[in-house]
Structure 1
Amino acid sequence: MTTSTPLPPCADGVDARRWPDVARVPRSTLRAPIARALALQAFARLPIRVGTPDGGLPTAGGPDAPLMELHRPDHFFRRLGRDGLIGFGESHMAGDWSAPDLPALLTAFADGYGALVPRPLQSLRAVALPTQPRADRGTRAGARRNIHRHYDLSNELFALFLDETMTYSCALFDAADPAGADGLAAAQRRKIDRLLDLTGVGEGTELLEIGTGWGELAVRAARRGARVVSVTLSAQQRDLAAARVAEAGVADRVQVRLSDYREVRGRFDAVVSVEMIEAVGERYWPVYFTALDRLVRPGGRVGLQAITMEHELMRASRSGYTWIHKYVFPGGLIPSVRAIEEQVDMRTAMRLVDRYAFGPDYAETLRLWREAFAAAEAEVAALGFDSVFRRMWNFYLAYSEAGFRSGMLDVEQLILERA
């Protein structure tokens, strides 16, 4: 008589068809004890608290330190042993652990990033970590798939946590801004206006926007008298952006196209691209910067807004496949400013003439988005997004906020001028 190997347990209440790797709890017979030992070492060095059903684990945090509540420690260590930081995120999606103040906890982890893996093992990360799937590369077909997976989730979903401008990138705050959504809207318009000012967009300017979003930048540029071509790979964004352009009364000056930037022809007085380079992928940076150089007229300017990280951290993470890649933004890589400058020098006749960093503003932007998303939980559920998705999205917003609060991430506006 033969016996079949028992299936691993599933997380309660998780749709295994929609979330197969969240529903399935790995055995990790060998790796789980190792992950537990490494995690306990890290916990003992971090200013956090870790609670378990049986009490608590030794940590370096005092009574006011951020709390991580391990509801199912065994599942947590098994996921961590099999998939590392991907398993860390999936464990939260499954409900294996939670935190009353998730951004504060994740910021503590980010601040202590170097202590999470013992130094003798750090050199093995590049070998041990999974690499990005070939299907996620930024080919024309791959880029369309990647953008569809995130930006075509639902315009209604994004409207629940973005402000009235429907701007999904870092805002630029001023101390005089009112609190809440009104202040966020003002800060988003300020960010856009700064980029348009520095690229010289005004009456008669022929402007190309790479990455439409939901149309606010195109509308503001058209109200200055510019003629705008805006391209996006998201069908849902294209449709809503075109409707917002028409509602604003500037449809005669704005074309919103469902198109890859590589397909755009002609030359423009100015080109702007807000937080789109992160989706390009390192393999296609030469194509992207060559296109910018081809598309802007001599004497014209290119305005980029880019999330950035330190160069050495970028190099260490350049080929890795992370939780963010798997569940939120497939295929991309956050560049360093040095990497951008190298591409500009090698591929273009442009030079960097202005740069402005405002990373703390992104932490604040993300906080406001996260709080609005949490407040709209019932509405999100009514759109058909289940509890796993809601935990995933909250984790994504808190994870990103922690990156900016810790200084691991920054955001900059970079102005390039073509000779």
Structure 2
Amino acid sequence: MTQIATARWPGIAHTPRTPLKARAAKAILKPTVNRIPVQVSFADGTRWGAVVRTPRDADRATEGVFARLGAESKIGLGEAYMAGDWNAAPGTDLADLLSPFADRMAHLVPEKLQTFRAFVDQKLPHHQRNSVAGSRKNIEAHYDLSNDLFTQFLDPSMSYSAAWFESPTQSLEDAQMRKIDGILDQAHVGAGTRMLEIGSGWGALAIRAAQRGAKVTTITISKEQAVLAEERFAEAGVDVDLQLVDYREVTGEYDAIVSVEMIEAVGEEYWPTYFATIDKLLAPGGHVSIQAITMAHHRYLATRNSYGWIQKYIFPGGLIPSLEAIDATLAEHTSLAVTDRRSLGLDYAQTLQQWRDRFNANWDAIRSQGFDETFRRMWEFYLAYCQAGFSVGYIDVFQIQMSRPTEG
């Protein structure tokens, strides 16, 4: 196993010593594996699952998997992968291996044991709350890792959200521009439109809007993204007002407000503030379009108060809403209502596959930036984990148009 930097990855370098919990995790996991199309081969030669080799195999699994699952059930599988306690077998794609688990997520734990969820789930740590200060720290933890890192696996538009493919053979860059045009069309962005973008990314949407003739204001709290976005605005020859402010600090009036996959970082307790702010800033007759990752309402209710691997390692403070939760927040705190929406869930699975392929192909360049093997395994698991969720429909993503119904 690759040596793990203890100072950088203290929770990964040492296997938890909780033998009773490890045995309990093993007792729960074995029947689960035996009833889904997955085979697991252990370091000692033991095998679970299908007798005949399947396209979804894990091998070289160790007892560390059970120790980590027993210690933290919602975090342990990902940490075990980061630690090298299990791998996808040669010829098995990691996302394909995870898909049967994602497809059965609500039923992996026997129903009788689910009554103990409250005793197992950890709540979101207080330091990850999305206050103005907390949001900046949470965003910095992911988006300020390195612009060069993201350059290595994103397409030339530097779009870090679901693309919208017209066909399976369309290039990722063209599919990303189609996605952006879909958002801008929903928000009725054209010549002279006063448009606010909440969450600048690296500037692709703002550039496209400015090229349509819109008067663009875009905001971000990522200093790293802001630097590169400004460079890209200059290269594109567009006039964009980029402000390094939180959405709660914005003033003015806008004909169109857009936001792409930013609501997931808002936090449930701040959804009313987020949507009320949009409502306050939107001019009469204006339109809103947001792209939002969602999950089924019953899964949102079951997981809203828990703390998972994604929140610990990838998106601190993150929470995926349901469509119903968005509708309820709009109804209670704004004059807005959803007037159109389209799903891009399978498109996101394809997007993530391409990102993962590029990440792996360019790993040597990424490693030269100072990222280690544990980081590589963390990001490989993150991209595959999300791809599996979108491919089976456990999670989805929608472009959602909102307006004030009385204004037509």
TM norm structure 1: 0.94
Contact 1:106/1:398, CA 8 A, preserved across alignment: yes
Match of 1:105 in 2: 97
Task: Return the match for 1:249 from 237, 252, 255.
Answer: 237
Cα shift at 1:58: 2.7
- What is the CA-CA distance between 1:257 and the residue it aligns to? 1.1
Is the contact made by 2:136 and 2:221 (CA closer than 8 Å) also made in structure 1? yes
Residues 48 and 61 in structure 1, CA contact (< 8 A), matched pair in contact too: no
User: Which residue identity does 2:248 align to in structure 1?
Assistant: R
Aligned-partner SS, 1:191: helix
- Once residues 223 and 32 of structure 1 are traced to their aligned partners in structure 2, the CA distance between those partners, rounded to angstroms, is 57
Q: Secondary structure at the match of 1:58?
A: strand
Deviation for aligned residue 1:12: 5.2
Task: Answer with 258-267 or 114-123: which moved more.
Answer: 114-123
Segments of 4+ moved more than 3 angstroms = none
Aligned residues: 402
For 1:55, which of 31, 45, 67 is the aligned residue?
Answer: 45
Structure 1 residue 29 and structure 2 residue 19: aligned?
Answer: yes
1:87: which partner in 2? 76
Q: Which residue of 2 aligns with 1:5?
A: none
- Further displaced range: 279-288 or 351-360: 351-360
Partner residue, 2:180: 192
| Runs of 5+ unmatched residues, structure 1 | 1-10
What does residue 354 of structure 1 align with? 340
Where does residue 386 of structure 1 map in the other structure? Answer: 372
Separation (CA, whole Å) in 1 of partners of 2:182 and 2:44: 54
Q: Secondary structure at the match of 1:414?
A: strand
> Which among 305, 328, 331 is matched to residue 317 of structure 2?
331
- Cα deviations by residue, 1:288-307 (Å, 9 ceiling, x for unpaired): 01001001111100101000
Matched residue, 1:208 = 196
CA deviations on 1:190-227 (whole Å, 9 max, x unpaired) are: 01011111211111110000000000000000011111
Relative distance call for 1:358 and 1:12 in structure 2 (3 A) is closer
Q: Post-superposition shift, 1:150?
A: 0.3
Query: Counterpart of 1:70?
Result: 60
Q: Does 1:265 align with 2:251?
A: yes
In the alignment, the residues of structure 1 paired with residue 168 and residue 106 of structure 2 have an alpha-carbon distance, to the nearest angstrom, of 38
Distance 2:69 2:189 in 1: 50
Q: Deviations over 1:340-397 (max 9, x none)?
A: 1111111111121111112100000000000000000101100110000000001000
Kindly state the Cα deviation for residue 40 of structure 1 after the two structures are TM-superposed: 1.1
Deviations 1:394-414 (A, max 9, x none): 100000000001110111011
Query: Would you say the 8 A contact 1:199–1:415 is kept in 2?
Result: yes
Letter of the aligned partner of 1:318 in structure 2?
R
* Residues 176, 137 of structure 1: alpha-carbon distance in 2 compared, 3 angstrom cutoff: closer
What amino acid is aligned across from residue 270 of structure 1 in structure 2? A
Structure 2 residue ranges without an equivalent (≥5): none
Is 2:403 the counterpart of 1:417? Answer: yes
Partner of residue 46, structure 1:
36
Deviates more, 1:313-322 or 1:104-113: 104-113
SS at match of 1:338: helix
Is the Cα–Cα contact under 8 Å of residues 45 and 115 in structure 1 kept in the other structure? Answer: no
Instruction: Report how far residue 264 of structure 1 moved.
Output: 0.2
Pair 398,176 (structure 1): closer, same or farther in 2 beyond 3 Å: closer
Q: How far apart, in 1, do the equivalents of 2:189 and 2:293 lie?
A: 23
In 1, Cα distance between the equivalents of 2:107 and 2:259? Answer: 36
Name the amino acid aligned to 1:58: W
Match of 1:150 among 139, 142, 154: 142
Partner Cα distance (1:258, 1:143) in 2? 13
Report the CA distance shift for 1:114/1:56 in structure 2 as closer, same or farther (over 3 A). farther
CA distance in 2, matches of 1:61, 1:412: 40
Q: Using the TM superposition, give the Cα deviation of residue 29 of structure 1 relative to its aligned residue in structure 2, in angstroms.
A: 2.1
1:377 partner letter: W
SS in 1 for 2:73: helix
Tell me which residue corresponds to 1:131: 123
Q: Distance in 2 between matches of 1:57 and 1:268?
A: 60
Letter of the 2:153 counterpart: F
Report if the CA contact (8 A) 2:211-2:238 is conserved. yes
Q: Partners of 2:397 and 2:168 in 1: how far apart? A: 22
Return the TM-score normalized by structure 2. Answer: 0.96
Q: Do 2:37 and 2:54's aligned partners in 1 also have CA atoms closer than 8 Å?
A: no
Q: Please point out which of 205, 220, 226 is paired with 1:232.
A: 220
User: Aligned to 1:166, which of 158, 165, 169?
Assistant: 158
Paired residues of 1:403 and 1:409 also in contact (CA < 8 A): yes
What corresponds to 2:306 in structure 1?
320
Contact 1:177 1:187 in 2 (8 A): no
CA contact under 8 A between 1:174 and 1:187: conserved in structure 2?
Answer: yes
C-alpha RMSD over aligned residues:
1.2
C-alpha distance in 2, partners of 1:70/1:37?
A: 19
Q: Name the amino acid aligned to 1:220.
A: R
Say if 2:268 is the partner of 1:278. Answer: no
CA–CA distance in 1 between the matches of 2:373 and 2:217?
39
Question: CA distance change for structure 1 residues 230 and 400 in 2, over 3 Å: closer, same or farther?
Answer: same
Shift of 1:250: 0.7
2:110 matched to 1:118?
Answer: yes
When residues 410 and 110 of structure 1 are mapped into structure 2, their CA distance, relative to the original with a 3 A threshold, is same
Give the drift of 1:187. 0.4
Equivalent pair of 1:207/1:226 in contact (CA under 8 Å): yes
Q: Distance in 2 between matches of 1:344 and 1:222?
A: 29
**Structure 1 pair 139–44 and aligned structure 2 pair: CA distance change class (3 A):** same
* AA of the residue aligned to 1:125: R
